[in-house]
Every structure is written in C-alpha cells, then in structure tokens.
Amino acid sequence: MSSEKRASHSDAEKVEIAQNGEETAHFAAERGHVATDQHGNSLYHLDPKVEAKLRLKIDYMIVPTVSILYLFCFIDRANIGNAKIAGLEKDLNLTGYDYNALLSVFYISYILFEIPSNIVCKWVGPGWFLPATSLGFGVCSLANAFVHNFSQACAVRFLLGVFEAGMMPGIAYYMSRWYRRAELTFRLSLYIVMAPLAGAFGGLLASGILTLDSVGSVKTWRMIFLIEGTITIGLSIIAFFTLTDRPASARWLTEEEKEMAIARIKAERVATSTVLDKMDKKKLWMGMTNPVTLGTSIVYLLNNITVQGLAFFAPTIVRSIYPDKATVTQQLYTVPPYAVGAFFTVLLPLISWFVDRRQIFMIAAAPMTVAGYAIFLATTNPNARYGATFLITSSLFALGPITNGQVSANVISDTARSSAIGLNVMCGNIGGLISTWSFLPSDAPNYPIGNGLNLASAGTVLVVATLMLLWMKMDNKRRDGRNVEEELAGMSQQEVEDLDWKHPAFRWKP
C-alpha cells in the first residue's frame, strides 16, 4: 500500500487490512496516529487468519526462551528446599529459625528491587535486561555451592533476590508488548507454569544429582547448586542472542508483520498513538494506583503465601508425611503434585483466553486451596494429606498468569503497565516473605500454624476477588453515564493519553 493511499485514510475510518495477507497495517502502526476512536472502538480490522499466523510465529520465537529462563529462575530460588533435606542445615550449622531467616533474606532484596527492576527493564529494554539479570542469578546460584556458614549463605541469598527480582515482572511486561489482552494471560501461563514444573523437575534433578558421588571437589547438596547454577549461566548467554526487544526490532519478522504486530496492540489501547511511550513519573504512578492493580496485588500477595511456602517446604512437608522413606524417595514424592499443578496452570488461563475473563478464575481457584488446607488441619493421615497437596497445587499456580494478565489488561500505557505489573509481583513476594515464617520448626511435624495461615489466606482471596468483581461491574455502569465528548473537549492528544485508565471511554476488563 503506497504512502499516498495510507495518508488518505482518516482516523475515523474503520478500514479492512491484511486481506488475504496482501495488505498490512501500515497506517495503524504509524507514529502519532491512534488506532481507536475516542470511545475506545478499534478503527482497524485485522484478518483473523493472517493475525493467527503472526501470533503463532511470535509464540515460537518468544515463549520458549522466556519459559526456560523462568524455569531455572524458580529452580535456583527453590532448590534450597531440596538442599535442606540433603544436609545443608547440618553442614552450615543452622539451628532454630536460621533456615527461615535464610529464606527471608532473599525476599527482602526481592521486594526492595521489584519495582525498580521493572523500571530498569523498560529503560534498558527487556531483550537485554532479562538475559543479564538471568546471568546474575545463575552466578549467585552457583556461588551457593561454596558457602560454609550462615552469614555467607545470607549474603548470597540476598544477591540472588536482587537479580531474580526483575525476572517474573520483566517477562510479563515484555510479553505485554507482543500480545493482545485476551491472549496475554495464556501466554503468561506458558512461562509461569515453569514454577510448578520447577518443583517437579527440580525434585527429579536434585534426586539425580544426589546419586553422584561428587562433581570435582564438590559433594552432596553443594552439587545441586553447582550444576543448576552452571546450566542457568549457559542459558542466559544464549538468551542474549535469541531474545528480541520489541516487534519493531525483530529480525525474524517482515516489515509488514512488524507493522501488523504493532497495530494489533495499539487497537486495544484507547487514545494511544504509540505503543512504547516515553517513561513518565505520572504514568508510573497511574499504574500503581490503579484500583484493579491494588486489589489484584492483594490477591496475589495472599496467594503467594501458599505458592512460595509450598516451593520451599514441599520436601519438608513430604518428609513429615513419609518420615521413613529414603531422602531420594522423599524428593521424588514432591514431583506428582507439581505435575498436576502445571496442568491446571495452563488449563485455566487457556479457558481465560477464549472467554477473555480473568476475575472469575481468581474466585474459582480459592475453594480448592481452602479444601486442601482444611484436610491438612483436620487429619494426620498421610495418604489424605498427600492427596490434599494435589488439591492445593491444582489451583495455586494459575493465579500467577491470571493476576498479571489482569493488571496488564486494566491499564493503557506501556509505562503504566510496567509499574502495575511490578507492584503486583512485589506484593506477591511480600507474601513470599511471609511464607518463609509459615512453617516453623516448633510447629512440626503437623504444622497447624502454617496450614491455618494458608487456609485463611485462600479464604481471604475468595472474599477480595469477589468484591473486586462486583466493584468493577458497578464502576463500569457508572462510567456508561459519562459524556466522552464533553469531558475530552479542549484537551490535547497528550493530555488525553495521560488520562490512562481515567479516560472516560475506558472500561474495566473483568
């Protein structure tokens, strides 16, 4: 399509593009042109078959790399649980609450650096930031193999938290540059599913590593950190060459595909003239003060008390259920619940994609967790308690992609999206910090305090998520009564864009 022909189209026209794959979204991708009218309706229509082909190409090029990086991100964080029952506590002379304190140190740095890391991710570009931060936590994981006391272990875990802080929100923000609102939650699940898979794969990998006599001069639990850290470093170096920062710089997309990739994202962002806006303090603040971001962050905080607690204490919980089993067998018992969790982590977001809803899945996930922890509190029967872990994992991990997809769907600008996701994940990791004190040595072997805390957290998720859904519907009805033309009269394009979710045509996406 010629530049003259593109220029002839006004922003008020709805134009068919990408018909039979021959035309492209040139005019939709042009800088300075909005892709919606002032009521938020898309001005452009993309041929579904052509768009599906482009989406599949993006899937193949983006999802595998970030998924593998996140797999080892979670393994490098949670492998301390495997090392614990393989002799770490004894060799480092950890007593009392030392292990819990060691876990907490990680979350202190993780929480402090969460939002700053996502801001740096936007500033540097995720194509460079994600491999770099992955390389950093790979080095820290490897360093765990050479600590000899509590202080050294705390120092390494603190640095591990610094580098891992930007990984989960960074990937979520990165993928929001490539996918539509409805598509995003499922794609997020394809990397967040690596958390339960890390529990399964990490248990298998730790079991295999522990069958070795040594790796050089490194023995027992130290081999877990040495081998897994080395793998992470290697994957990070490869990622520097495989990750593409944004559609416009993707060498594996044609010019037409680049423009279509940009246009389809713009078409969902009311009054937006550019997909990647300049960083702005006001928009950063808009992302963090968004009511849906705040409510979702509370849900994710509560959910993560259980998610992270399970990651760190699953081997310990299994040992309390099957105390007479060998260490390697105990490690293997942690695998099946995580495998079931991985299945539901993908299934629920997949359904979410087709119905373009997220809030209802936050509500639906809570009862299974409530039931699981109720069983833990009600009985000490080992078979019943082991069965309860399947109920818990089948709902827990799905809230990772669902909550991040929800905050992403309910802001407009790229900058607001980066801070909204950063806040959500930061709050999630406050839950992770709480989880490090949920299973105390004095509470063993049945852990009524830890199980009670998780039961209460899941019940509160149910209440908060339900109230959020009711509020979103109520506020959308209130917004229906606003006069868009009147409220936007006299405002410049920049002032309109700065409104973000306060734009009168914006509606909450439940």
Three-state helix/strand/coil letters over 26-95 = HHHHCCCCCCECCCCCECEEECHHHHHHHHHHHHHHHHHHHHHHHHHHHHHHHHHHHHHHHHHHHHCCCC
What number of helices (H) and strands (E) belong to the chain?
24, 2
Structure tokens at 182: 């409805």
199 part of a folded domain? yes
Q: 10 Å Cβ neighbour count for 155?
A: 14
Yes or no: say if 373 and 451 are a contact pair by the CB < 8 Å rule: yes
5 part of a folded domain? no
User: What pLDDT, on the 0 to 100 scale, is given for residue 182?
Assistant: 87
> Does the pLDDT of residue 207 top 90, yes or no?
no
pLDDT band (50, 70, 90) for residue 475: very high
Task: Find where tokens 């018992």 sit.
Answer: 333
465 or 275, higher pLDDT? 465
Task: Give CA torsion, residues 250, 186, 331, 372, to 10 deg.
Answer: 160
Domain that holds residue 369: 46-270+280-481
Residues in the chain: 510
Give mean pLDDT, residues 116-135. 91
498 part of a folded domain? no
321 part of a folded domain? yes
Of 229, 224, 228, nearest to 84 by C-alpha is: 224
Give mean pLDDT, residues 133-146. 94
Give the largest Cα separation in the chain, rounded: 78
Of 47-51, 52-56, 133-137, minimum mean pLDDT range: 47-51
Structure tokens at 318: 């299994």
User: What pLDDT, on the 0 to 100 scale, is given for residue 4?
Assistant: 34
**What pairs with residue 215 in β-bridges?**
218
User: What pLDDT, on the 0 to 100 scale, is given for residue 234?
Assistant: 95
Q: What percent of the chain has pLDDT over 90?
A: 38
**What pairs with residue 42 in β-bridges?**
36
291 part of a folded domain? yes
Q: What is the pLDDT of residues 386-421, one digit of tens each?
A: 888 898 888 888 898 999 999 999 988 888 888 999
311 part of a folded domain? yes
User: What pLDDT, on the 0 to 100 scale, is given for residue 329?
Assistant: 77
Chain CA centroid to CA 395, Å: 15
Q: 10 Å Cβ neighbour count for 355?
A: 10
Pairing of strands 44-46, 15-17: parallel
Give mean pLDDT, residues 290-307. 94
19 part of a folded domain? no
User: What pLDDT, on the 0 to 100 scale, is given for residue 270?
Assistant: 66
Yes or no: say if 185 and 358 are a contact pair by the CB < 8 Å rule: yes
> Does the pLDDT of residue 498 top 60, yes or no?
yes
Distances (CA, A) of 111 to 162, 203, 433, 505: 9, 26, 9, 34
> Does the pLDDT of residue 36 top 50, yes or no?
yes
Q: What is the pLDDT of residues 416-470, one digit of tens each?
A: 888 999 899 899 889 888 888 887 888 877 788 888 999 999 999 999 999 999 9
Number of domains comprising the chain? 1
CATH of the domain at 61: 1.20.1250.20
Give mean pLDDT, residues 70-80. 86
User: What pLDDT, on the 0 to 100 scale, is given for residue 23?
Assistant: 41
Of 4, 6, 11, nearest to 270 by C-alpha is: 11
Q: What is the pLDDT of residues 159-182, one digit of tens each?
A: 999 999 989 889 989 998 899 888
User: What pLDDT, on the 0 to 100 scale, is given for residue 466?
Assistant: 97
CA distance 60 to 32: 30
> Does the pLDDT of residue 349 top 90, yes or no?
yes
226 part of a folded domain? yes
Instruction: Show Cβ contacts of residue 244 under 8 Å, excluding neighbours closer than 6 positions.
Output: 61, 62, 127, 250, 251, 252
CA distance 438 to 40: 46
